[in-house]
Amino acid sequence: MELFHANIVYSGNLTQLAVHTDSYLGVEDGKVAGIWEKLPQMYEGLPVTECGNGVLIPAFSDLHVHAPQYLNRGLNMDLLLEDWLNQLTFPMEARFADPDFARLTYDAFLDDLIANGTFHASVFASIHLPASSYLLEEMDRRGMKGFVGKVNMDRSAPENLLETPAQSLRETEQFLEAYSGNKNARPILTPRFAPTCTGELIRGLGNLGKKYGVGMQTHLVESRWEAQQARLLFPDCSCDTEIYERAGLLDNGPVIGAHFIFPSEKDEEIMLRHDGFIVHCPDATVNVIAGITPAGRLLDQGMKVTLGSDVSGGHHVGVYTQVARAVQYSKIKEFYEPEGNRTLSLAEAFYLATLQSGSLFGKVGSLAPGYDFDALLIDGLDDAARPLTPEQIVERFCYIGNASHIKARYLSGRRI
């Protein structure tokens, strides 16, 4: 048993943080064994890690992030989606045909995720099989829990980023065969979005999903332009989400839809029926899409809403920054579109980035007994003139914290 004496904060449920001030937390076999106000007698005499004023919180999960866009973070943020894809994003992703460039970039990307407290993620790679395989293997080797998608796209992109449907499906199947049995990082089907995928490709991916029992991630009703394109290119479907439902892509494993900013009633009905995860990426939607996911309204309808950095549509890998931004932009959403929309509390936004999103990866996203001890110790955020409560330290970390405020990182109980 490894023991910590600390302030401990995690999500009890959607609306409430569980706060244990000046308490003891025990870790056994990489999992939280218990939390006690006083050290139980049976553990007296064992060494205890003293955390001082620090706060132990669960590590974050990023449910939507593009690893090959890492080098573009914070650049060309004055463009909107279509121009941003064509001018900045596609040329960068094409470079991942070079495995050496990919290795260098993906190592730096994963280092930065871990530095910023993201230990679980659902990641888009690029169309390239060798680079995507390296990313998945490296995440798995580091013990990070997550999904990695080899991206599929067979139209409306530069020649050097296009696959034929046959080649795309063949390489995706190789990817699934190699890694479906993994424990930590596993593959997920990743049609980029409707405008860059033909019906033939999407139907083929539906067959692979069924054969291998694997879920799907994509960009879903992310902009008015994208929703319109989806209707135009798939005239027999009444909305974007129906394209994937008809192909049988929503029946085989987790469904992760990024953005969901302009859903029709039908989009919402389909996502709800398939228990899909919606990923709100506040910075990205304001940077390159100029819309805001109706997170509060979707939560009130019983949908699973989570958070993502969407680097490099979003400019910062730290999901904790998106906790703050989700609160900020929910107010703008409510102010300009009051009907059904409401402001999120800090506790709700924290839940989206930890317990809700972590549920995709097993027992992660909480520090309640039984959960994996995937944890961060945050400190150095209060002022000498006035101490803060543990909840206040968590809130301030989300607003003005950075990686240097994470003083210790534990992954499956191991300090890293």
Is residue 192 close enough to count as binding ligand GUN by CB under 6 A?
A: yes
CB of 100 to ligand GUN, least distance (A): 23
CB of 279 to ligand GUN, least distance (A): 10
Q: Which is nearer to ligand GUN, 54 or 308 (CB)?
A: 308
CB of 295 to ligand GUN, least distance (A): 16
Site string for ligand GUN, 148-187 (x = CB under 6 A): ----------------------------------------
| Alpha helices, H only, 220-361 | 224-233, 240-246, 265-273, 282-284, 295-300, 319-336, 346-351, 357-358
Q: Which is nearer to ligand GUN, 85 or 353 (CB)?
A: 85
Closest CB to Fe ion: residue number: 310
Give the integer Cα–Cα distance in Å for 291 and 270.
21
Give the integer Cα–Cα distance in Å for 137 and 177.
13
Is residue 222 close enough to count as binding ligand GUN by CB under 6 A?
A: yes
CB of 77 to ligand GUN, least distance (A): 12
DSSP code string of 90-109: HHHHHGGGSHHHHHHHHHHH
Q: Which is nearer to ligand GUN, 9 or 227 (CB)?
A: 227
CB of 194 to Fe ion, least distance (A): 14
Residue 190 exposure: Cα atoms within 13 Å on the Cβ side: 26
Give the residue, chosen from 20, 66, 297, 409, that forms a contact with ligand GUN under the rule CB under 6 A: 66
Q: Which is nearer to Fe ion, 226 or 310 (CB)?
A: 310
Interior/surface letters 254-287, b for 16+ CB within 10 angstroms, e for the rest: bbbbbbbbbbbeebbebbeebebbbbbbbbbbbb
Give the integer Cα–Cα distance in Å for 272 and 257.
12
Give the integer Cα–Cα distance in Å for 414 and 31.
10
Q: Which is nearer to Fe ion, 312 or 330 (CB)?
A: 312
| Alpha helices, H only, 248-318 | 265-273, 282-284, 295-300
Q: Which residues pair with 50 in a beta bridge?
A: 5
CB of 206 to Fe ion, least distance (A): 21
> Residue 193 binds what, of ligand GUN, Fe ion, none (CB under 5 to 8 Å, by partner type)?
ligand GUN
Give the angle 337-339-345 at the CA atoms, nearest 5°: 80
Give the residue, chosen from 20, 73, 186, 219, that forms a contact with ligand GUN under the rule CB under 6 A: 219
Strand, helix or coil for residue 11? strand
Residue pair 105/71 in contact by the 8 Å Cβ criterion: yes
Q: Which of residues 253-292 bind ligand GUN (CB under 6 A)?
A: 284, 288
Q: Which is nearer to ligand GUN, 46 or 232 (CB)?
A: 232
Closest CB to ligand GUN: residue number: 313
> Residue 62 binds what, of ligand GUN, Fe ion, none (CB under 5 to 8 Å, by partner type)?
none
Q: Which is nearer to Fe ion, 66 or 405 (CB)?
A: 66
Which of 113, 51, 47 lies closest to 407 in space, CA to CA?
Answer: 51
Chain CA centroid to CA 367, Å: 19
Q: Which is nearer to Fe ion, 26 or 195 (CB)?
A: 195
Q: Which of residues 288-347 bind Fe ion (CB under 5 A)?
A: 310
What are all long-range contacts of 38-42, with beta carbons under 8 Å and residues at least 24 apart?
39/3, 39/5
Number of residues in contact with ligand GUN, rule: CB under 6 A? 11
Cis peptide before 312, with omega less than 30 degrees from 0? yes
CB of 222 to ligand GUN, least distance (A): 6
361 φ, ψ to 5°? -115, 20
Site string for ligand GUN, 289-318 (x = CB under 6 A): ---------------------x--x-----
Q: Which is nearer to Fe ion, 93 or 310 (CB)?
A: 310
Number of residues in contact with Fe ion, rule: CB under 5 A? 1
Residue indicated by tokens 């300090």: 415
Binding site for Fe ion (CB under 5 A): 310
Binding site for ligand GUN (CB under 6 A): 66, 85, 89, 192-193, 219, 222, 284, 288, 310, 313
